[in-house]
Amino acid sequence: MRSLGIAVVLLGSAAVFAGNAIARDDGRYANSPLKSWFDGLKSGKGLCCSDADGSAVSDVDWESKDGHYRVRLEGQWVDVPDDAVITEPNRVGRTMVWPIKGTLGITIRCFLPGSMT
């Protein structure tokens, strides 16, 4: 079990962020062929944790402009730091984000751009 500064709970199509929650691998992805890929996924900011810790992002909630990304979280646009972008090929297809909510707002630990299909 590891302590993280954020937990993401999906309620319908909205994401709710809670601070200082405990995240754990409950085994639901143990047999996924992508489990080891997610476990090793990292950006310039470090490991992204796993698929259970990230959130899928709808195409309308992220964009690329002038060579940089931004993502809409909790109704606000957040710039993705260049070192948070995962540059290896996206094996899952969908866009994903690993946000961290702190006293200064939301920052992005990892961002995996999707195909915008």
Per-residue pLDDT of the chain (117 residues; tens, 9 = 90+): 333 444 444 333 344 444 433 344 566 667 888 888 888 999 999 998 755 578 899 999 999 989 999 999 999 999 999 999 999 999 989 999 999 888 988 999 999 999 765
What range defines the domain where residue 31 resides?
A: 2-112
And the tokens for 86?
A: 């995962």
In-domain check, residue 96: yes
Using the structure block, give the residue that is written with the tokens 């992805």: 29
In-domain check, residue 46: yes
Cα(first)–Cα(last) distance of the chain, in Å? 36
In-domain check, residue 117: no
The total number of structural domains that make up the chain: 1
